[in-house]
Structure 1
Amino acid sequence: MDSQLEAEAFKRIYPEEYFQRFLSEGTRPDGRPLGRARSTTIGFGAVSTADGSALVKIGSTTLLAGIKLEVMTPTAEAPDAGKIAATFEMPPLCSPDARPERRLEETSVVVQQVMNAIESAGLVNTKELLISTGKAAWVAYLDIYCLDADGSLLDAALLAAVAAFADLTLPPVRVNPEGHVLPVLSGAQGGNLRENGDASSEVVTVERRKLTLGAMPWAATIGLYKGHLIVDPTAEEEALLESTVTTILDEAGRLISLFKPGGITAVTTALIQDCVELTRHRARELKQILEESSQEDEDEGDESQ
């Protein structure tokens, strides 16, 4: 007990020296090797009132993503497509450091990076959000809430967004000749939209349907400290690092984004290559976790019917 108290006191008084002792042995205070991410889980359908949702945990970092659909009139520039709008929230309860000014800066960066990754990878074809050309389309409001900010926030936010879109289903609707979107009751039938727009014209989607997702983007935050590369750092580790790099790859392993928020370590070609390779390994893990979680969700749905 005395040795444990001494170690805890040393950690509090000399956090960097404490951290370095572990790094010199190729490990970290939580026992992980430098290249290993924390345990990751995905729970689909976490919000019953959302059209798609997911709860993601990477270690203690916990984020909830939900998507609500609303009808919009397509723009003149894109009459055959809907759109996505995203927000990211960091309430004070998620971190002792979640001060208003920090939250504003961090939330804007995270939501921008998430949206850029979704668009660059081609995860969602907004034409699939179309209800009727020039008349109606879905706008998907993606809201991501941070419940516990314990490091690698962008990784978890992107994974939560991807999982929420994987869970998303579009409700059955019909469009009357006036362009009004109406819900379709279970078992209802209807005709197809006709070009002349007469009284019998309507669009009907009889069943709810999932989106056909494109390539999924995967992210890994890598801490840089005295020549060490530290995958998926905790908030405690992030406070000691020289800088971090978040690398985002598409499903083919191509680099679509590299985000480095300041720090003293220069970004070199060799560093980028090392980060990409570590992210490829992490991407394979995340893809498997998403597929296994999705299968478990489907199995539970079959059992409940």
Structure 2
Amino acid sequence: MGAPNAAGDWSSEMEVDAFRRLFPLCYFERHLSESIRPDARPLKRARDTIVSLGAVASSDGSALAKIGSTTMLAAIKMEVMTPSVDSPDEGSIAVEFHMPPICSPVVRPGRPAEVAPVISKQLFDSLLSSGMIDLKELSLVKGKAAWMAYLDIYCLDADGALFDAALLSAVAAFSHLRIPVVSLNDEGRVVVVSKELEGEKLVKEPVNEERRKLSLNSIPFSLTCILHKNYILADPTFEEESIMETFITVVLNSSGQLVSLYKPGGPVLAHTSAIQECIALTKHRMKELQEIIDEAISIMEVD
């Protein structure tokens, strides 16, 4: 009796898989009609999220962030630069988002992913417009020296909601950042003090006497939602994004203010109620993400 049942179950699984491949939208809509998704999540629930700090020992700040299977590795390297004439008392940040071929079957070797520069620009805009980083805090000597924070984010697994995971990894990396010690040499130039030289007497007083944290304010968090008919799906997977074309990404700062709203493609939204609900979902998600980062920081401090 056991063998026929096993064979029947196997046949049934094959039929479901075939239906999913041939009619993906119908397959998903059958689940949506029952207010559940194929991965067993309620429509408005995000995937399990993990943040780990200090993933790259050679960086000045780093973090690994996972939302479901979507995985991002962010690392920050600090370098001394000459500030611009227009902003002599400010430093700067540079953001690069990378999608190597290992992250997804749709990314081909030798062909940069088209979405990578778009996400890089969105990340840069979100980090600055949110007010999280005070660029004046990156100044060393007005008009002569300031910090440039190079932020590189590598997508290791692209399973949907890429911007959300990338922004989370960026925020976590800046939370882990420790600004290096610098001093003035004999020629009056600002130089980074290596670990080997930290105990030696310098010719002139250090500009900053110890590795310090960067003060973060109005931290930005985001949530991507798919809008399909009367349904709202929070934190979509790659499969969901490829099937349902209308989605928006809401970015809020920790003060609850709207930083930005991205809506690439899809039909024009006729009602604002859907956007308002997405904003409300983002506020709830923001609290979850802040708790996750706080926990990661506490674990790092204990270690």
1:142 correspondence with 2:127: no
Letter matched to residue 198 of structure 2:
S
Matched residue, 1:303: none
SS of residue matched to 1:239: helix
The correspondence of residues 1-305 of structure 1 with structure 2, limited to 5 A, is 1-99=10-108, 103-176=112-185, 178-184=187-193, 185-188=197-200, 202-266=205-269, 268-300=271-303
**Shift in Å, 1:189:** 5.8
SS of residue matched to 1:293: helix
**Shift in Å, 1:115:** 1.1
Letter matched to residue 171 of structure 2:
V
The farther-off stretch of 176-185 and 5-14 is 176-185
Cα distance, 1:7–1:100 mapped onto 2, change above 3 Å: same
The farther-off stretch of 127-136 and 271-280 is 127-136
**Shift in Å, 1:81:** 1.3
Kept in 1: contact 2:181–2:206 (CA 8 A): no
Structure 2: where are the runs of 5+ without partners? 1-9
SS of residue matched to 1:147: strand
SS of residue matched to 1:253: coil
| d(CA) in 2 for partners of 1:142, 1:89 | 11
Q: Deviation digits for residues 217-242 of structure 1, max 9, x if unmatched?
A: 01000011111000000000111113
Kept in 2: contact 1:189–1:204 (CA 8 A): no
Cα distance, 1:102–1:283 mapped onto 2, change above 3 Å: farther
Alignment coverage as a number of residue pairs: 291
**Shift in Å, 1:103:** 4.4
Q: Taking structure 2 as the reference length, what is the TM-score of the superposition?
A: 0.91
**Shift in Å, 1:264:** 2.1
**Percent identity of equivalent pairs:** 51
**Shift in Å, 1:268:** 3.2
SS of residue matched to 1:219: strand
Cα distance, 1:146–1:20 mapped onto 2, change above 3 Å: same
Kept in 2: contact 1:44–1:163 (CA 8 A): yes
Letter matched to residue 22 of structure 1:
H
Q: Taking structure 1 as the reference length, what is the TM-score of the superposition?
A: 0.90
**Shift in Å, 1:105:** 2.8
Cα distance, 1:89–1:216 mapped onto 2, change above 3 Å: same
Kept in 1: contact 2:183–2:204 (CA 8 A): no
| d(CA) in 2 for partners of 1:243, 1:271 | 12
**Shift in Å, 1:23:** 0.3
Give structure 1 regions of 4+ aligned residues with deviation exceeding 6 angstroms. Answer: none
SS of residue matched to 2:224: strand
Cα distance, 1:15–1:101 mapped onto 2, change above 3 Å: farther
| d(CA) in 1 for partners of 2:269, 2:251 | 19
